[in-house]
Amino acid sequence: MSIDDNDRLRAGTLPNDPADDTKIVASDAPRVLTVRDLLRGARIDADRKNLKSLTTTGNYKLDSITGGMIPGFVWVFGADTSWGKCLGRNTPVMRSDGTTCFAQEVRDGDRLMGPDSKPRTVVGTTSGRGKLFMIIPTRGEPWVCNWKHVLVVVSTRTNVTTEISVEDFLKKSPPWRHQQKLLRVKPKQLPNTEPRTNVKRVGFSIEPIDDGQFFGWELDGDGLFLLGDCTVTHNSSFLVMIADENLKRKKRILVVSAEDSEKLYGDRLMLRRTRNNANRLRSKKVTPEEREKMLQVEEKAEESPVFLDARGRGVEWVSRNVKQIIKEQQIDVVAYDYLQAFDNEKPQQDRRNQVTYIARTLTDITKSLDKTGIIFSQITVEKGKPMPDKHSIRESRDVSNAAEVVLLGFIPEKDLMGQSREAGRPPELLVGAGDKAILVDKCKNGPRGAMIRMPWDNDSACFDTVLDPETERLSKFVDAAGNFSDFDNDDWRTR
């Protein structure tokens, strides 16, 4: 017996009905499908146009491997804090009380001094080995960092402050590098601390040194902190890319944040859509041209719910309210930022049981309503491992075991090579040392073990979208105002 596609979505006539023309409601009786039903479902699924009907990660290659963000699936995305930046052993760092410690002594929950004399809280730490560089200021002691560490420098010619990695700084022309000075800020709490003036610019040089151990962390807020000598430096958006790219597809995504504020998410989304300079936005020194772009982006913004502030709320409150919002606002994807920041009302025996309970509660929200969920998490990479795996999810391995897809973000210390598709050809470069990468460590609907390079724009501090070849070709016909995002990809095929 065959049934049409609409019948498959509700309830149809079953072969063993007690009488002809009797209808059985799916919720009242088991649904027994025929071989034809199963094969028709596979064919309908295959007819989806190149994943365009699904929600997206913003990276075509990642969508192709995982099958897209399928309703009912739960993803776990764990990011190594090496996606942030790292310092060498014994580099002094200033705590929020004005005392100093070494980089290797920084722990989760520590509070470091920001350039505005306000504290920044450490929300994750990491360590590893790799190529190191020595930063040698003209005044003060030299210090050591890795190639991805972000320097905060100011131009003597334009007075523009720039955040730039050591790697990218060394690629600049000698005249440009010569104009840049390190920025030092005296905290208000330390009137006797050098520099004597509130802000000082210091010349410097960079020299490569041998491989060695480095230490890094992620901070809340803007990620800026001071070294022991008052030099300003930086820690560093996959979730924002997912939200932005799905909004362009007319999908509805809800970011449930237990960590960052609406201001931080607003700034990141604005930077992604305008591609303005991130540092000028943070320091409120945007140019007239950048301000005009911000006004244009604001005028075109969707009236779509996208952010729920869950800071200080228990996961039980989150469950009740997010389920209601999903139903009322027809949400397609829910992203939770981040697992370890959520709390709960129900008492648990230990931290692992607590995190597992929180993860199961968040998972149930989307699975029960057949929506896509993605849980962001911290990870800890064991010493000696070249890259993380699904067991690196911090404080609860049960989280990755229950997910359909597990993605792990990290920065490799060495080039990652893969076998060439053609026999006799040399290995192909998958991800270069120092690039941001995602490892697909678990995938229910696709192959496991794929490595995806994630292009990053340092100026706007955003991930770049990776389009499929057809969409990339069509986008070239669109004017520079960005009208391409106003159309569905399928619309272009009919023009």
Is the same domain home to 271 and 197?
no
Q: Is residue 136 part of a domain?
A: yes
Question: How many C-beta atoms lie closer than 10 Å to residue 346's C-beta?
Answer: 11
What CATH number corresponds to the domain at position 367?
3.40.50.300
Is the same domain home to 373 and 251?
yes
Tell me whether strands 143-146 and 119-137 are parallel, antiparallel or unpaired: antiparallel
Which residue type occupies 182?
A: L
Question: How many C-beta atoms lie closer than 10 Å to residue 49's C-beta?
Answer: 11
Is the same domain home to 165 and 254?
no
Contact 249, 465 (CB under 8 A): no
SS3 109: coil
Please tell me the total count of domains within the chain: 3
The average confidence (pLDDT) of the chain is: 76
Residue 49 above 50 pLDDT? no
Q: Is residue 55 part of a domain?
A: no
Is the same domain home to 356 and 481?
yes
Residue 205 belongs to domain spanning: 85-234
Contact 207, 134 (CB under 8 A): yes
Q: Which of 213, 234, 255 is the last residue of a domain?
A: 234
Q: Is residue 54 part of a domain?
A: no
Return the structure tokens found at 304: 């779509």
Mean pLDDT of 315-328: 94
Is the same domain home to 396 and 318?
yes
Q: Which of 234, 269, 290 is the last residue of a domain?
A: 234
Q: How far apart are CA 374 and CA 403, in angstroms?
A: 9
Q: Tell me phi and psi for residue 492, to 5 degrees.
A: -65, -30
Is the same domain home to 112 and 226?
yes
CA 220 to chain centre: 14
Q: Report the run of H or E that residue 132 belongs to, with start and end.
A: strand 119-137
Strongest mean pLDDT among 73-87, 206-220, 241-255, 342-356: 241-255
Return the structure tokens found at 398: 């049960």
- Does this model's pTM top 0.85? My answer is no
Mean pLDDT of 252-274: 86
Is the same domain home to 222 and 274?
no
Is the same domain home to 318 and 423?
yes
397: left (phi over 0), alpha (psi -120 to 50) or beta: alpha
Is the same domain home to 185 and 36?
no
Is the same domain home to 210 and 252?
no
Q: Is residue 52 part of a domain?
A: no
What pLDDT, in 10s, does the model give residues 231-245?
A: 544 444 788 999 999
Query: What was the pLDDT predicted at 186?
Result: 65
Q: Which of 164, 199, 234 is the last residue of a domain?
A: 234
What pLDDT, in 10s, does the model give residues 143-192?
A: 888 877 888 888 888 888 887 888 888 988 988 999 999 877 766 555 45
Q: How far apart are CA 164 and CA 176, in angstroms?
A: 13
Is the same domain home to 67 and 92?
no
What percentage of residues in the chain have a pLDDT greater than 90? 17
What CATH number corresponds to the domain at position 145?
2.170.16.10
Is the same domain home to 473 and 421?
yes
Q: Report the run of H or E that residue 374 belongs to, with start and end.
A: strand 372-378
